[in-house]
Chains A and B, each alone.
Chain A
């Protein structure tokens, strides 16, 4: 019996900071940054938001438009690289906040930006093997970019929750493939506030190697070509990498467009590919096929082949779309941004 997505929800905080404003503080040329990164602004959490609150809002949004409630959920896995606690899972906070406790499996995942898709794969397995009826996978982050570092322009906040099941699925997950190596392209040591990265090393040996291998691996496994798909979604650390990798693989910019949301959002890390997928599901017609490859530093990629069913029309329009969540932002200057992001220690 096919396994897939029964419902999904997204949460994006209302605040933003523009590239120009960050550039102003560090003496960079915003035109160069925007051209290089193809990002205009990024989302910023409110002072009382964190990965847990974002995960809860995304989870509640997913459940609200479905016929499920918390008690139906047999497992919750939250993937993030900014869990509020180093020890004490975000998943239990979400579980309590959607009234899924106490009979469920739960844990937190970490694999840089692909912790959310790793959680998705785990739910797939549990549901397919009939250990649970429904599992929830969440990718959410309030990413930290070190001041004056290039990543500060894109490290954003947001999350998406997906419920996996066998009944009334709105999109079947036809297959999945992962490619994993021990590669230190980007990391954060325990107790450190900001991550570090290998500069240009994060490109070819990091993102491109794993996304290309992962995507090609799934295409081969499913005996498909890019033409077999209507949409493609990649992990979006900036606007340049996904465009390049789409082109290299033979996907068109047209296939990429709907799921490319980084320009006005920034890189939501564990939320990135999952929010991109949500943007596609917001508008996809029954029968459309979606190809997705998420990437996480450390390093690895998770690829999915997804086919939209006719059930999708039952839930489209019942929750804010990604496009709607990106509307009406509140812009901050750098000082308020720093306060929101706890860069100013009280």
Chain B
């Protein structure tokens, strides 16, 4: 991650701000500026997701890159937000507690950092609701 690239997505990472196509009523998170079905006919607006959803599938990561080593083992999951879109995220819980279909809600956590003297990356993870 680089500073400008992280900074540009702060509203999306911190506050689950995505987009919605008002032409076909599809919600997007991560945000999209082109609605694939509508393309140029799409009408894209910003949308703030509520932060509730359910677990679609998951794994427990035991072997991770250096930036995530402190967190292992951690749960990685695909969560479906109540409004429809799916995202990849970490679930803050004991690995034994995760289930497909479990309800989750968003929390604010550290995603990582660029070393002990670099920028700290914050973002959204989920806990079991």
The chain A residues found within 8 Å of chain B, CB to CB, are 46-50, 52-53, 56-57, 60, 84-85, 93, 96-97, 99, 330, 339, 346
Listed in ascending order, the chain B residues whose CB lies under 8 Å from chain A are 10-11, 14-15, 48, 66, 69-71, 92, 94, 107-111, 120, 122, 125
Q: How many A-B residue pairs lie within 8 Å, measured between CB atoms?
A: 45
By beta carbon, the residue of chain B nearest A60 is B108
Q: Which residues of A contact B122 (CB under 8 A)?
A: 52-53, 56, 93, 97
Partner of B109, one of A53, A60, A84, A339: A53
Q: Are A48 and B110 in contact (CB under 8 A)?
A: yes
- Docked CA distance A162–B113 (Å): 29
17 examples of A-B residue contacts, CB within 8 angstroms: A47-B71, A48-B109, A48-B125, A49-B109, A49-B110, A53-B109, A60-B108, A85-B120, A93-B122, A96-B10, A96-B14, A97-B15, A97-B122, A99-B11, A330-B94, A339-B70, A346-B69
Give chain B nearest CB distance to A150 CB in angstroms: 27
Partner of A53, one of B10, B11, B70, B108: B108
Minimal beta-carbon separation of B64 from chain A (angstroms) = 12
- Point out the residue from A50, A57, A60 that lies within 8 Å of B110, measured CB to CB: A50
7 closest A-B pairs by CB: A56-B108, A48-B109, A48-B110, A97-B14, A53-B108, A47-B70, A53-B109
> Within the complex, what minimum Cβ distance (angstroms) separates B9 from chain A?
12
Residue of A nearest to B15 (CB): A99
Establish whether residues B15 and A53, one from each chain, have CB atoms under 8 Å apart when the complex forms: no
- Asked if residues A57 and B71 are in contact (CB atoms below 8 Å), the reply is no
Nearest CB of A to B38, in Å: 28
Which chain B residues lie closer than 8 Å to A346 at the CB level? 66, 69-70
Residues on A with C-beta less than 8 A from B107 are 57
In angstroms, Cα B126 to Cα A219, docked, is 46
Could you list 13 further interchain pairs (A-B, Cβ under 8 angstroms) beyond the known A48-B71, A49-B110, A53-B109? A47-B70, A48-B125, A52-B120, A56-B122, A57-B107, A84-B120, A93-B122, A96-B14, A96-B15, A99-B11, A330-B94, A339-B70, A346-B66
Tell me the bound Cα distance from A262 to B108 in angstroms. Answer: 25
- Name which of B10, B48, B66 has the most chain A CB atoms within 10 A of its CB: B10
